Amino acid sequence: MQPQESCRQTEEVTLFEFSVVIAAKFNNPAILNPDFLLYNEIVDSQYEVGDSLITTPAFSQVKYKNGISVTSTPDQVVFQQAKSELNPDEICTPSIAMRYMKCVPHVSYDAVGINPKGYSANGHGNRVLNMLREDGAWSSFKDVSPAVTLKAAYDFGEKRIALEIFESQQLQSSEKTTQTVFQANFHRESRGHNVDSRIKHLNSIVESWQHDLREFFALVDKYR
């Protein structure tokens, strides 16, 4: 499905991870392996399987060299794409998730989460701490500032957005820099009286991932 409006990153925030999480009851992780994904045309035939291949009744994982991975447990299936700078036009995990549900329709899928993750470089400062600081005594203990995580939740009824903001230190050219990481979860429950209608509803949610990504950038902009 082509987006009606392009999803462009902000000047400061760079997307580096995007995942679709399908919550399920009585899911069978043991079916997940590279051959299953390939022969059912869930993933592209050009994908090269990477390391960390796991297939067990409790946990299965297939990772590809292009940064795409599929992970399965008894209560969820995760379709993730990671790259140092992930262009929204490159995102393909929603399509993979929809093909997977079409291929495995007998599972009781309960909910879906659209999860973008991005960062902004902020030198040596602690942006999250500065958001909360009002000269509070807690902001320093024995001359050490704490590592702070900010969590916010927005309840829109059928859709809930959870946003988490924290600092992450990176080593670049032998110099430590601090990044502010923004990760969000757009959560929606499935609707429908039978398996087909529930999958159809979840597919409609996944198909609108571009809208959620635009909202992610708009929301993150409020915290900059």
pLDDT (tens digit, 9 = 90+) per residue, 66-79?
999 999 999 999 99
Which of the four pLDDT bands, split at 50, 70 and 90, describes residue 29?
Answer: very high
Residue 1 has pLDDT above 60, yes or no: no
The pLDDT of 197-219, averaged and rounded, is 96
Residue 11 has pLDDT above 60, yes or no: no
pTM of the model: 0.89
Domain map (residue ranges) of the chain: 14-21+110-221
What's the confidence (pLDDT) of residue 175?
A: 74
CB atoms within 10 A of CB 176: 9
What's the confidence (pLDDT) of residue 4?
A: 45
The pLDDT of 80-109, averaged and rounded, is 96
What's the confidence (pLDDT) of residue 158?
A: 93
Which of the four pLDDT bands, split at 50, 70 and 90, describes residue 125?
Answer: low
Look at the alpha carbons of 65, 179, 210, 216 in this order and tell me if their dihedral is positive or negative: positive
Helix-strand-coil percent breakdown of the chain, rounded to 5? 25, 40, 35
pLDDT (tens digit, 9 = 90+) per residue, 146-185?
777 889 999 999 999 999 999 887 766 667 778 889 999 9
DSSP 38-92: HHTTSS-TTPPB-S--EE-SS-EEEEBTTSEEEEEETTEEEEEEE-SS--GGG--
State how far the Cα of 25 lies from the Cα of 75, in Å rounded to an integer. 5
Lowest mean pLDDT, pick from 15-24, 56-65, 117-126, 198-207 = 117-126
What's the confidence (pLDDT) of residue 135?
A: 59
Residue 133 has pLDDT above 70, yes or no: no
Position 26, amino acid? F
State how far the Cα of 188 lies from the Cα of 98, in Å rounded to an integer. 15
Q: Residue 115: which of 37, 34, 12, 188 has the closest Cα?
A: 188
The DSSP symbol for 28 reads: -
What's the confidence (pLDDT) of residue 157?
A: 93
